[in-house]
Amino acid sequence: MFLDIRLMEQKPISFDEILPPGAIRFDSEFSQAGPILAAGTAAFQEATEEIRVAGTLSVSLSFQCDRCTEPFTEQIQTGFDLIYQPVPTHTPGQEISIKSSESDLGFYEGQGLELNEVIEEQVLLAVPLQRLCRADCRGLCPVCGQNKNEFLCDCPAQRSDERWAALKAIH
């Protein structure tokens, strides 16, 4: 859906989008397990030429656990309230400096914004940095490689590396 400034000048645009898996292409670190549900409004402030997009989204994503490597699905829900300004005009090749107060702003070119790009960015920002199938995941045994959530192995807790034996002898 394109958020057109000409339409927003008349009144704010409400959106209630359902994006099926594959409508937005994400990288291979995770996959979309269900539709993205996004709802909210987009409004244009003529005095500042800013577009404000506010709403919520929810989606079910499939990950691989960072500790045990097992696949799991997690429901992501987040709200957003974003401000977009027109891209500053500049001479080609000239550097553009951004003030610290502008670091949380987005920019748009032309007559509006593509809503799917806004939604994609918000999903990526909501993805957890550490992806765990559960908070108490025990991970894989470093000796035998078994999933310690499923099997309790009898491997020694810490296996020494013979390459470091000479250093252990130094006191």
12 and 55 share one domain? yes
Containing structural domain, residue 155: 138-171
pLDDT in tens, 117-160: 999 999 999 999 999 999 999 999 988 889 999 988 888 776 67
21 and 101 share one domain? yes
Q: What predicted TM-score, i.e. pTM, was given to this entire model?
A: 0.77
142 and 91 share one domain? no
Q: According to the model, what pLDDT value does residue 165 have?
A: 81
The domain tally of the chain equals 2
pLDDT in tens, 73-122: 999 999 999 999 888 776 566 676 666 555 568 888 888 899 999 999 99
Distances (CA, A) of 100 to 35, 67, 90, 97: 35, 37, 19, 10
27 and 67 share one domain? yes
Residue with the bigger pLDDT between 42 and 109: it is 42
